[in-house]
Amino acid sequence: MQSFDFANWALGVVAVLIGAGVIGLWRLSYMVAQLQVTVSNWTKVFEDRFVVATDISREHEKRIGVAEKNVAVHQIIIDRFLPGKEGDE
């Protein structure tokens, strides 16, 4: 039976701590990689939704522009062919 040797005991503790640190760093690296994938997926989803919303907004602006032109044309026709109908009585 060997006597208690502090140097061997300390070396064993240090080896266990280094091993735990290496495993901890490996696990942290893995978790960061998973987080990057998740954020990348979310970014893609929100970019796609933003593009769709932008396209819808542009289409609505285009429709509003056409409607405003139609109103202006109708107002010109009313002014030209129906004089006195605007309250000029």
CA angle 66, 70, 74 (to 5 degrees): 170
CA 78 to chain centre: 49
Place of tokens 């933003």: 50
pLDDT at 86: 54
Contact at 8 Å (CB) between 73 and 79? no
pLDDT tens digits, 7-21: 888 889 999 999 999
Place of tokens 């009313």: 78
**Domain-by-domain residue ranges, the chain?**
24-83
pLDDT tens digits, 40-89: 999 999 999 999 999 999 999 999 988 888 888 888 888 888 766 554 44
Contact at 8 Å (CB) between 85 and 78? yes
pLDDT tens digits, 29-40: 999 999 999 999
